[in-house]
Structure 1
Amino acid sequence: MLGLVAAALILAGFVLFLVKFATADGDFTLTSRGKPKRDEVEGKVVWITGASRGIGEILANQFTSLGAKVILSARNTVELERVKSEIISKYPASRVEVLPMDLASGEESLKESVYKAESLFSSAGVDYMVHNAAFERPKRKALDETEEGLQATMNINVLGTITLTRLLAPYMLKRGRGHFVVVSSAAGKCPSPGQALYSASKHALNGYFHTLRSELCQKGIKVTIVCPGPIETSKTSETSSSGKSRSLEKRVSAERCAELIIVAATHGLKEAWVSYQPVLFVMYLVQYMPTIGYWFMDQIGANRLDAAASKRSAYSWSLLFGHKKSA
Structure 2
Amino acid sequence: MLTHFFISLFLILVLSALLFKFAISDGDFTLLSRRHVKREEIEDKVVWITGASRGIGEILAKQLASLGAKLILSARNETELERVRKQLTGKYAPEQVKILPLDLTSGEATLKEAVDKAESFFPGVGVDYMIHNAAYERPKTTALDVTEESLKATFNVNVFGTICLTRLLTPFMLRRGRGHFVVMSSAAGKTPAPGQAVYSASKYALNGYFHSLRSELCQKGIKVTVVCPGPIETSNGSGATTSGTKVSSEKRVSAERCVELTIIAASHGLKEVWISYQGIFGFFFQSHLLGTTPSQGGEPPARQPNY
TM-score (norm 1): 0.85
Q: Higher helix fraction: Structure 1 or Structure 2?
A: 1
Counterpart of 1:239, as a letter, is G
Q: Residues of 2 paired with 1:84 and 1:33: CA distance?
A: 29
| Count of equivalent residues | 299
Change (3 A) 1:295 1:67: closer
Gaps of 5+ in 1: 308-312, 316-327
Does the 8 A contact of 2:74 with 2:102 survive in 1? yes
Is 1:139–2:140 an aligned residue pair?
A: yes
Shift of 1:138: 1.5
Measure, in 2, the Cα distance between the counterparts of 1:32 and 1:300.
Answer: 37
Decide whether aligned partners of structure 1 residues 20 and 285 sit closer, same or farther in structure 2, where only a CA change above 3 A counts.
farther
Contact 2:48 2:130 in 1 (8 A): yes
Deviations 1:247-287 (A, max 9, x none): x3211111111111111111010111111132122213323
The equivalent of 1:290 in structure 2 is 290
What are the within-5 Å matches in structure 2 for residues 1-327 of structure 1?
2=2, 4-87=5-88, 90-91=89-90, 93-94=92-93, 95-122=96-123, 124-235=125-236, 237=242, 239-240=244-245, 246=248, 248-287=249-288, 289-291=289-291, 294-298=292-296, 314=306
Superposed CA offset, 1:41-80 (max 9, x none): 1111100000000111111111111111000000011000
CA distance in 1: counterparts of 2:74 and 2:149, whole angstroms? 24
Which whole-Å CA distance do the structure 2 matches of 1:10 and 1:91 have between them?
45
Amino acid at match of 1:237: T
Inter-partner Cα distance in structure 1 for 2:247 and 2:134: 29
Q: What amino acid is aligned across from residue 154 of structure 1 in structure 2? A: F
From the superposition, tell whether residues 115 and 301 of structure 1 become closer, same or farther in structure 2 (CA, over 3 Å): farther
Q: Which amino acid in the other structure matches residue 65 of structure 1? A: S
Aligned identity (percent) is 62
1:131-175 CA-partner distances (Å, limit 9, x unpaired):
000111222211111111100110000000000000000011111
Say what the alpha-carbon RMSD is for the aligned residues: 2.1
Task: Point out where structure 2 has 5 or more consecutive residues left out of the alignment.
Answer: none
Q: Quick one: which amino acid aligns to residue 225 of structure 2?
A: T
Q: Judge conservation of contact 2:27–2:274 (CA < 8 Å) in 1.
A: yes
